[in-house]
A and B are shown apart, each in its own frame.
Chain A
Amino acid sequence: MMRFLVALLALIATPLAAQDSMPPAPYAYTQLQDPALEAEAVELMETLRCLKCQSQSIHDSDAPMAGDMRHQVRARLLAGESPDQIRAWLIQRYGDYVSYQPEVSATTWPLFAIPLLLLAIVGAILVRRLGRRRSDEGDAA
């Protein structure tokens, strides 16, 4: 009987809250009054990476830290900073990691160079092949 009771109790036990119980930051879940400014905020938040969850943007994430980052984005836009300034402020602290919009830098330049290189190779091959076919036709005529 006792064992049954314990088992029953274990079923309804809630795990200890390993998360904080504080209310979120003012602008974590509250949109800005100005729709144009809020649109700018959303556009920026979609391209900033959540530091706790890492595969979500702070716009998608419900992690408390993502809420605090959204608060910073909205509060700073409201204070007159531009989205680029806010992104730069975060990159200065967390590196390229925090941005889903890579900028050309010492570590990211291959991202931009490799597609151009591939295009150049494809172009060279095409020019060679088409050029050869044309000269073949020329020979046949």
Chain B
Amino acid sequence: MRLVYLVPLALFLFFAGLAGYMLTQPKDQNVPSQMIEQPLPDFALEPALEGMPGASRSDFVGGEPRLLNIWASWCLPCIAEAPHLERLKEEGVEIVGVAVRDTPQAVEGFLSRHGNPYSRIGSDDISELMLEIGASGVPETYVIDAEGNIRYQHIGDIRESDVPMLLEKLEEVR
């Protein structure tokens, strides 16, 4: 038999093996932002509730690196990450919040139940800032250096084990 006839079989085995291997790999559905190491785009968001300032690009310039936390009162993982944001605040990190498609009443309710680690909270009613920085869901957290550049993106809720990692990232970009 000519070896050429084995080529289709070899191709089939290759693709079957590839498919089998990919089945064993964990599925990563996250779409990472391409805006890392880029300057934060210009934006200005109205306050998400009364009595707290809104958020704009200029709030990220000067001083220490900050965290930009994108969340929403209707987002369940945001409840899970609330205590860990509180920890980061206790470590002296300034956290600027952006509430996505939220009402002032709902934001106030969330903060009274789960604590308020934010220095300011902007309101993003139509995902304007999310689309500007390449965010694809809530919650997401960005490390912004003191020059206003995006340096790191954390997709999903912040777990207890992420707190030291984020502190390290903040230290790195100082």
> Which residues of A are found within 8 Å of B74, using beta-carbon distances?
17-21
A22 and B131 contact, CB distance less than 8 A? no
B33 and A65 contact, CB distance less than 8 A? no
B76 within 8 A of A: yes
Query: Of B32, B35, B126, B133, which contacts A25 at CB under 8 A?
Result: B126
The A-contacting residues of B in range 91-142, CB under 8 angstroms, are: 100-103, 106, 125-128, 130-134, 136-137
In the complex formed, the residue of B with least CB distance to A72 is B131
* A51–B133 alpha-carbon span in the complex (Å): 13
A109 within 8 A of B: no
B19 within 8 A of A: no
B25 within 8 A of A: no
B130 to chain A, nearest CB (A): 7
A95 and B130 contact, CB distance less than 8 A? no
B31 and A51 contact, CB distance less than 8 A? yes
* A91–B34 alpha-carbon span in the complex (Å): 8
> Which residues of B are found within 8 Å of A94, using beta-carbon distances?
31, 33-34, 134, 136
Main secondary structure of the interface of B (DSSP, over half): loop
- Contact code string A63-95 (vs B, CB < 8 Å = 1, else 0): 011001101100000000000000000111111
Evaluate whether A22 and B102 lie within 8 angstroms (CB atoms) in the complex, with A51-B137, A52-B137 already known: yes
Most chain A beta-carbon neighbours within 10 Å: one of B76, B102, B103, B134: B134
Tell me the total A-B contact number using a CB cutoff of 8 A. Answer: 65
Interface bin, chain B? 20 to 34
Evaluate whether A93 and B35 lie within 8 angstroms (CB atoms) in the complex, with A22-B101, A69-B131 already known: yes
Query: Of B29, B35, B101, B137, which contacts A20 at CB under 8 A?
Result: B101
> Which residues of B are found within 8 Å of A19, using beta-carbon distances?
74
Interface bin, chain A? 20 to 34
The A-contacting residues of B in range 11-37, CB under 8 angstroms, are: 29, 31-35
> Which residues of B are found within 8 Å of A52, using beta-carbon distances?
136-137
> Which residues of A are found within 8 Å of B137, using beta-carbon distances?
51-52, 65
B72 within 8 A of A: yes
- Contact code string A16-34 (vs B, CB < 8 Å = 1, else 0): 0111111001101000000
- Contacts beyond the supplied A68-B130, A93-B133: 20 A-B pairs with Cβ under 8 Å: A18-B75, A18-B76, A20-B72, A20-B100, A20-B101, A20-B102, A21-B74, A21-B103, A22-B103, A52-B136, A52-B137, A65-B130, A65-B137, A68-B126, A68-B131, A69-B131, A93-B35, A94-B33, A94-B136, A97-B31
8 interchain pairs, CB-CB under 8 A: A17-B74, A22-B103, A51-B136, A69-B127, A69-B131, A71-B126, A97-B31, A98-B31
Q: Give chain B's interface residues, CB within 8 Å of chain A.
A: 29, 31-35, 72, 74-76, 100-103, 106, 125-128, 130-134, 136-137
Q: Give chain A's interface residues, CB within 8 Å of chain B.
A: 17-22, 25-26, 28, 51-52, 54, 64-65, 68-69, 71-72, 90-95, 97-98
